[in-house]
Structure 1
């Protein structure tokens, strides 16, 4: 994922910064608690497509992969 693109994107719900999770191929917002998928190299920035993050993820702790 292009770092410049990530820097330009914000969470559509909380308007906060996003972090890239390379392992899960998602953009995460710890403020809203949502993780947006990246499909075919394109971030899907729709709330309806986002995954709700676990409490551990929101706090920045490692969570087990599904």
Structure 2
């Protein structure tokens, strides 16, 4: 299930409250300020700080 564009406009990073950008494969949401990615599982963003992955590690796992 693809991410809804309207939902993306409403979501914010739970750590810094900044905006999020979809990753190119749309399998994660990037917070550029915190340099972390929140995974998207079965079309649902997992917006938990403890589930976030450092951006460099996320890119390295692809």
TM-score class, shorter-chain normalisation, is 0.7 to 0.9
How far has the Cα of 1:26 moved from its partner? 0.3
Matched, 1:34 2:29: no
**Alignment partners' CA distance in 1, 2:7 and 2:53:** 20
Task: State the Cα distance separating 1:65 from its structure 2 match.
Answer: 5.5
TM-score (norm 2): 0.82
Residue 64 of structure 1 deviates from its aligned partner by 5.8
Could you state the TM-score of these two structures normalised by the residue count of structure 1? Answer: 0.78
Structure 1 unmatched runs, 5+: 55-62
With CA pairs under 8 Å and 6+ residues apart, which has the higher RCO, 1 or 2?
2
Question: What are structure 2's unaligned runs of at least 5 residues?
Answer: none
For 1:19 and 1:3, how far apart are their aligned partners in 2? 11
Matches within 5 A, 1:1-66: 1-23=3-25, 25-54=27-56, 66=62
Aligned Cα RMSD in Å?
Answer: 1.9
